[in-house]
Amino acid sequence: MPTTLGWTITDWQQAYREGAEPESLISKLLDYLKDTDNAWISRLDDQGLNTAMAELSEHLEEVDGDLAQLPLFGVPFAVKDNIDAVGMATTAGCPAFAYQPGQDAAVVRKLKAAGAVLIGKTNLDQFATGLVGTRSPYGAVSNSFNKKVISGGSSSGSASVVARGLVPFSLGTDTAGSGRVPAGLNNLVGLKPTKGLLSIEGVVPACRSLDCVSVFGLTIHDAALVADCISGFEPADAYSRKAPTALPLDAPAIRRSGPVQRLAIPDSPRFFGDQQAEAAWNTALSQWRQLDTAGIELVPLDFTPMLELAALLYEGPWVAERHAAVEAFMANHAADINTTVRSIISNAGKFGATDTFKAQYRKEELVRQIDTLLSEIDGLLVPTAPIAPTIDAVNVNPVELNSQLGTYTNFVNLADLCALAVPAGFRDDGLPFGVTLISGAWKDRELQTLASQWLNAHPTPLGATDKPRPQEVATYPPAVPMVQVAVVG
C-alpha cells in the first residue's frame, strides 16, 4: 500500500518540499491501482509516466526549480472520461464513441502547466447523463462507504478515486448536479463553479449552455486551489466568461457582493421516504444554527420556483442539448448507447423549436421569481442528495430515483448560481451525508469561506480514508471585490 494514500494536496506539497521524487511516489501509486477497479476507464501506462515525468522536469527547469511557481508540482490527479487528455482515449463512458484527442482540454492543460500529473480517466454515467453512477458499460461504480450503494454520478469514478485517497483531487463535470451528488454520497468537497469560470473547451458536452467543469477534493483548500489554477477566460470557448468588474449594487442579495450569511433552507425538504437522510439533515441544521459565526442565519423558504426550474431541466427541451452533442454518433450507433441514456436523449425528438423558446421564457420567469424570493437572502443551504439508494434499487427504477437525486441540484446551473457541496456528518447506516451551499454567480469564494467555517466546526474524516481533517483556511478573498463607484475623467 503506497504511503500516499489519503494525502491531500498539502501533504503532497510537503513531501516534495522535503525532497521526495515524483516518479518514485507516482509509480508506486500506479502499481497499486487495480485492473478490477471500475472507477477507472484508463490509467497512465509506463510510457505515459515517462512522458509525464519528462514534461514535469521541463516545467521545473522553466521556473528554475522554484516549486512555489508550480503549485501542483507532482500532484497526481484524475479526470472524468468526458474531458480530453492527450494519450488517453476520450470515451464519455461509451467505448464505440471513443476517440484519441489531439490536445488536452483547457483545464487539463492548465493543471499540467501547474505541475500536476494526470494518472487516469474515470468512469461516468454515459455522456454525463445521470446522477447515479450506474449507467456505464464499464460497470456501476460503488459508493466508497458501501459497495451496495451507488456512488452517485455522473462523475462517479472521479468521486470514488478521491474518496478512497488514491488521488487528492479530480475533475468532474456538472450540468445538473454531477459534481455535487457524488461528492455528497462520498464525504467529499464538490466544487461546482460559476458557469464559464472554468472553460469547457475540450469537454464532451452534456448540455453545452449549462455545463461546468467541477472539482472533487478531500478538503475545501484543495478544491479551491485547483479551481484557482484552472480558472480564467478562454476566448476559443464561447461559453467562457470573464468575471465582472463589480457585482451589481442593486441586485438581489443572492447576487450582490458581501459575505454569505443569511441562508435560505427548504421549508419542507423532500427526502422521498429516506428517514436516515432526513435525520442527518436535521442534525446538520441544528449544528448550523449553533455555528459560532457572526451573522449566520437560517431562513426557511418555499422552494417551489427552484423545484419547478429543476423539473424544467429534466422534463423540458434541454435534453436536446444532449442530443446535439452526440447527434451524428447516435444516428449510426444507437445500439451502442446505454438503454436508459438512449431513451433520455431520444426525448429530444419530442420538442420543437417553439417548445424550446417557450421553455426558455419559463426559465427566465422562474429565475426572476427566484431572484425576487432571494432579494434579502445571501445563499441557500440544501441537502446535496435527498436519498442514497442501492445500485439494485436504481437498476429497478433508473429514472425516478435519478430524478429524486437531482431535487436540490438541477436548478442551480439554469439559474446561474455557483455551489459547493461539503460533508455534513454521517447517517445512522454509516453512509456520509452532505449539504450544499449555493449563491449567485462569481460568489464561489464567499461559499468557500462559509464552508470552511462549517467544516472547522464540524470536521469529518477525509473521504473514506479515516484520516482526520486538517484545519481549513478561514477566509477566501472574493473573486469580485466590493467596489465603490468612483467616476473617472
Residue 191 CA to residue 161 CA, distance in Å, equals: 16
Residue 126 CA to residue 136 CA, distance in Å, equals: 5
Out of 81, 321, 378, 446, point to the residue binding a second copy (CB under 8 A): 321
375 is catalytic: no
3-state secondary structure of 220: helix
Out of 20, 113, 164, 208, point to the residue binding a second copy (CB under 8 A): 208
Residue 90 CA to residue 97 CA, distance in Å, equals: 8
27 is catalytic: no
Out of 17, 147, 289, 368, point to the residue binding a second copy (CB under 8 A): 368
Number of chain positions touching a second copy (CB under 8 A): 47
Closest among 247, 249, 259, 254 to 373, alpha carbons compared: 254
- Which amino acid belongs to residue 45? D
Out of 247, 380, 435, 479, point to the residue binding a second copy (CB under 8 A): 247
Is residue 1 within the footprint of a second copy (CB under 8 A)?
A: no
Is residue 486 within the footprint of a second copy (CB under 8 A)?
A: yes
Out of 63, 96, 334, 482, point to the residue binding a second copy (CB under 8 A): 482
CB closer to a second copy, 297 vs 327: 327
In the complex, the smallest distance separating the C-beta of residue 348 from a second copy, rounded to whole angstroms, is 5
CB closer to a second copy, 249 vs 396: 249
Is residue 19 within the footprint of a second copy (CB under 8 A)?
A: no
Q: Is 479 exposed, middle or buried (0-12, 13-18, 19+ CB in 10 A)?
A: buried
Helix (H) or strand (E) holding 75: none
In the complex, the smallest distance separating the C-beta of residue 251 from a second copy, rounded to whole angstroms, is 7
Find the part of the chain contacting a second copy (CB under 8 A) among 5-13, 81-89, 345-353, 447-455: 345-353
* Spatial contact of 475 and 220, defined as CB atoms under 8 Å apart: no
* Spatial contact of 396 and 178, defined as CB atoms under 8 Å apart: no
Helix (H) or strand (E) holding 185: helix 181-185
Residue 220 CA to residue 480 CA, distance in Å, equals: 19
Out of 31, 35, 242, 294, point to the residue binding a second copy (CB under 8 A): 242
CB closer to a second copy, 335 vs 488: 488
Is residue 176 within the footprint of a second copy (CB under 8 A)?
A: no
Is residue 358 within the footprint of a second copy (CB under 8 A)?
A: yes
Instruction: Choose, from 42, 80, 121, 144, the residue flagged as catalytic.
Output: 80
- Which amino acid belongs to residue 184? G
In the complex, the smallest distance separating the C-beta of residue 277 from a second copy, rounded to whole angstroms, is 34
Out of 279, 299, 307, 367, point to the residue binding a second copy (CB under 8 A): 367
Residues between 386 and 445 with contacts to a second copy, criterion CB under 8 A: none
Helix (H) or strand (E) holding 119: strand 117-122
All three cell numbers of 430: 454509516
Residue 274 CA to residue 388 CA, distance in Å, equals: 8
Instruction: Choose, from 142, 155, 160, 178, the residue flagged as catalytic.
Output: 178
Is residue 248 within the footprint of a second copy (CB under 8 A)?
A: yes
Q: Buried b / exposed e across 103-128, counting CB within 10 Å, b at 16+? A: ebbbbbbbbbbbbbbbbbbbbbbbbb
Is residue 235 within the footprint of a second copy (CB under 8 A)?
A: yes
Residue 418 CA to residue 224 CA, distance in Å, equals: 13
In the complex, the smallest distance separating the C-beta of residue 113 from a second copy, rounded to whole angstroms, is 21
Report how far apart, in Å, the C-alpha atoms of 207 and of each of 129, 192, 232, 465 are.
10, 15, 21, 34
80 is catalytic: yes
Out of 66, 365, 376, 429, point to the residue binding a second copy (CB under 8 A): 365
Is residue 475 within the footprint of a second copy (CB under 8 A)?
A: no
Out of 89, 251, 307, 473, point to the residue binding a second copy (CB under 8 A): 251
Cis peptide before 286 (omega within 30 of 0): no
* Spatial contact of 134 and 394, defined as CB atoms under 8 Å apart: yes
Using CB under 8 A as the criterion, which residues of the chain lie in contact with a second copy when the complex forms? Answer: 208-209, 235, 238-239, 242, 244-251, 317, 319-321, 323-324, 327, 348-349, 351-358, 360-361, 364-365, 367-368, 372, 481-489
The residues assigned a catalytic role are: 80, 154, 178
